[in-house]
Amino acid sequence: MKAAFGTRGFTRLFVGVTASMFGDALMLIVLSMWVKKLTDSNGAAGLTFLWLTIPALLAPLFGYVVDRVPRRTFLVAANLGSALIMLPLLLVRDASDVWVIYLVAFFYGVSFVVMPAALNGLLKDMLAEDVLVEANASLSVTREALRLVGPLAGAALFAVAGGSTVAMVDALTFVIAAISIASLRVVEQHEEHEPQHWRAEVVAGVTHVRRTPLLLHSTLSLSICLLVVGFSESALYAVIEAFDKPVEFIGPMLTVQGVGALVSGLLSSRVIRRLGEPRTITVGLGLLSAGVAGVAAAGAVWQLLVATAVLGTGIPLMIVAYNTLLQRQTPGRLMGRVSTATEVLVTTPQALSIAIGALLVTVLDYRLIFAIMSSGTALAAVYLLTMLRGQIVRSTPSTSEPATPAEPVPVSRANPSAEDALEPPRVASGLATDPA
């Protein structure tokens, strides 16, 4: 990770992104906890995550915008906008105001779509390919480290001061991120290409994914996984009730998940360099499947926490490997649209899964729900291994071939070694999901 931090400007950006990630770690779980407290409904609490994921259905339009505006300016505006959307939470008083939480969750979800897309574009434009995995790993490790304290702090602050206070702290972190990014001097790359009809421009990201087998099948494997893992958003509260724990116990559970994820994140760049991105994704899916199965089988709290830590180890491997694969396989000028296109392909199944999970938790035992989740995740790993059995061995970082562009090859590029060029990061909650 030293190479990434040795790049001029990266540390300052890292500080800003870390601030916003800390706010997310505090706030995301509090939104559903707040609904649970107000309504005493597991399904209503789980639906909070559905509202977070719905904006991904509009992702191609967002990507079209991201690819046509200066990314630094866009990120500053997006962070300030995210701070403003926290303000309506000050109005929440009782169960009749749950719609306000859902509304805020929707706009929060918009920020989850657009900001990672813009940051991915900066990564692609300004980082050398051999540093991409290190930058992704550094952000993943930081995010998972924040999970060690974020959920606990968020749950504690919620219990003591209420959701409105947590919302204002989250808003402050977005402001810090905006100031940090605004202070950077960024030389962005611009690629000229033959103009196309606006409809073709909007769907260019989807076209590129369809024409790139490694990216297509890796994305579909995650889609299969999220088609069942989203059940956890509601079922998690049923797990807590079964072990006779208060709703705030979700904080310690996510912290334990963060311990496993932190260890995995520290090793992720090494694993990816050794196995390549697709095989690393399958390893992550396997660990996630094993951990979810452990939750279903747990008979004591310590067993539940061990299973949670195991599933936590799979998440960074999948995220870092997938983001690195996406960046390597995508031309810079398409990064926003490809990032948002994959968001649709991954988040649509997740949204369906969350909605179905909110219903299943009312009719099925949580153990059966988690068993279904484990089987679906294992199926996703088998799918990826089967579909890419001829390419998966050759797709290591040192030998990855650039993907065939979905649009004409650019005829000019900005000088990538220009002074003050920035090298950025990133990657976008229930028990086992983390918007990629």
Q: State how far the alpha carbon of 77 is from the alpha carbons of 118, 181, 315, in Å.
A: 12, 10, 29
Query: Shortest CA distance to 218 belongs to which of 386, 51, 428?
Result: 386
Cα gap 276→377, rounded to integer Å? 20
pLDDT of residue 284: 95
What is the model's pLDDT at position 271?
92
- Can you tell me which residue has the tokens 């994140």? 265
Q: What is the pLDDT of residue 196?
A: 52
How many other β-carbons are positioned within 10 Å of the β-carbon of residue 29? 28
Q: Exposed, middle or buried, 266 (CB in 10 Å: 0-12/13-18/19+)?
A: middle
**Comparing C-alpha atoms, which of 187, 175, 109 is closest to residue 424?**
187
Q: What per-residue confidence (pLDDT) applies to 428?
A: 32
* Phi, psi (degrees; rounded to nearest 5) at 430: -90, -145
Rounded-to-integer distance, Cα 219 and Cα 217, Å: 5
The overall pTM is greater than 0.85:
no
What's the chain's Rg over C-alpha atoms? 20
pLDDT score for 235:
87
pLDDT tens per residue across all 436 residues of the chain: 566 676 676 778 888 888 988 988 888 789 988 998 999 887 888 788 888 878 877 777 787 788 778 888 888 999 999 999 999 999 999 999 999 999 999 999 898 888 888 887 777 766 677 777 887 788 878 877 776 777 778 888 998 999 999 999 999 999 999 998 888 776 666 554 455 544 666 677 778 888 899 999 999 999 999 999 888 878 888 899 899 888 778 778 877 888 888 888 888 888 998 998 999 999 999 999 999 999 999 999 999 999 999 999 998 899 889 988 988 888 877 777 888 888 778 877 877 888 888 888 888 999 999 999 999 999 999 999 998 776 654 444 433 444 443 333 333 323 322 222 222 233 333 444 443 3
Tell me which residue of 34, 41, 257 sits closest to 158, measured CA to CA: 34
Which residues are within 8 A (CB) of 267 and not within 5 positions of it... i.e. 6 or more apart? none
- What's the gap between Cα 237 and its chain centre? 21
Candidates 189, 188, 182, 164; CA nearest to 104 is 164
The pLDDT value given to residue 430: 41
Sort 182 into a burial class: Cβ within 10 Å, 0-12 / 13-18 / 19+.
middle
Contacts of 64 (CB under 8 A, 6+ apart): 198, 201, 202, 336, 337
